[in-house]
Structure 1
Amino acid sequence: MKNISVTSTIDKPRETVFAAFTDFDQLARVLHSATEVTFVTPEKTGLGTKWVQVTQEGEETSSGTHHIIELTQNQSFTMVSLDSISKETMSFTFADQGQATQVDFRMEGIPISGLAKLASPFLSKLIKKAMQEDLDRMKAHIESQS
């Protein structure tokens, strides 16, 4: 699976946007629509944080483990996600855009299951659309906060 990236401008200062994205319980629930989040590490934010999240789409329930492997305060963070279908590396970069913040969301996925390996060349457009929807949901959530 190739690198896929999407961008959004959020009408809040970078520090506020970064804080919202690095509230990993909130990130899992808003960005990925997780129904359950369980932290594996004692810390719930910062470098090294690890959690398992459960998501449900229709009748399908899935879970994945997420681990923060890089974090530069108010600038960027990278997490790896592992589930039964793929291993993904997701990077988020934050930059000032006047009074707003530009968020770049980049993902590289490595299919694990046979079906995912076969389907991955055809899924890029669907994945990009889903990533943009995820980012738009996070944008709406952050901008609705006072």
Structure 2
Amino acid sequence: MGALNQHIIIERPIETVFAWTTDMERAPEIMDHVEKTEKITEGPVGKGTQYNEIRNVGNRRVQTTLEVIEYIPNTSYAVLSDQNGVQISFRYEFTPQGNETHVTFNGDIKTRGLARTLFKGMIVRMIAKEELLHLSNLKKYIEKNTEGK
């Protein structure tokens, strides 16, 4: 288990939740700090797919490349970000519960260099807060946009 752990129940079938969660180009509609996410590799989404993401962090635009490192339809999805001495892996697990889906989020943070290592606790807290809000926003977004479908 990683440094960040959250879970939520989304009141939609697993196929819907997985499809909407793994559509990274929707991130600006779901996450407050994401301005743009663009797929930069060809072909269908799967292990090795890469995205260019731009976030507004503390009034600074930060660009990073995200890489899908695990993609098992309707089961799990993981993405890796490695930037400026901070490597973050985000992993989502999907479990059906009738017509609902239990989503578990695990994030792991690794740091390189003295400065990043000294501030690792602060980085973990900042990302944990954002990801908790992300899961809540994801739930609202999916349930609103798939109502009656």
Quickly name the TM-score band, shorter chain normalised: 0.7 to 0.9
Q: Equivalent residue for 1:109?
A: 109
- Superposition RMSD in Å: 2.0
TM-score norm. by structure 2 comes to 0.85
Distance verdict in 2 for CA 1:28–1:117, change over 3 Å: farther
Could you list the structure 1 runs, at least 4 aligned residues long, displaced by more than 4 angstroms after superposition.
none
Stretches of structure 2 that go unaligned for 5 or more consecutive residues are none
Query: Does the Cα contact within 8 Å between 2:109 and 2:124 map onto a contact in 1?
Result: no
Counterparts in 2 of 1:1-146, with a 5 A limit?
Answer: 3-27=3-27, 29-31=29-31, 33-43=33-43, 45-112=45-112, 114-145=114-145, 146=147
Counterpart secondary structure, 2:12:
coil
CA offsets, 1:97-125, max 9 Å, x none?
A: 23210100100011235432111134434
Count of residues paired in the alignment: 145
Counterpart secondary structure, 1:47:
coil
Query: Does the Cα contact within 8 Å between 1:24 and 1:44 map onto a contact in 2?
Result: no
Q: Which moved more, 1:12-21 or 1:32-41?
A: 32-41
Quote how far apart the aligned CAs of 1:52 are.
1.1
Percent identical among aligned pairs is 23
TM-score norm. by structure 1 comes to 0.87
Stretches of structure 1 that go unaligned for 5 or more consecutive residues are none
Q: What is the alpha-carbon distance in structure 2 between the residues aligned to residue 27 and residue 122 of structure 1?
A: 24
Distance verdict in 2 for CA 1:63–1:75, change over 3 Å: same
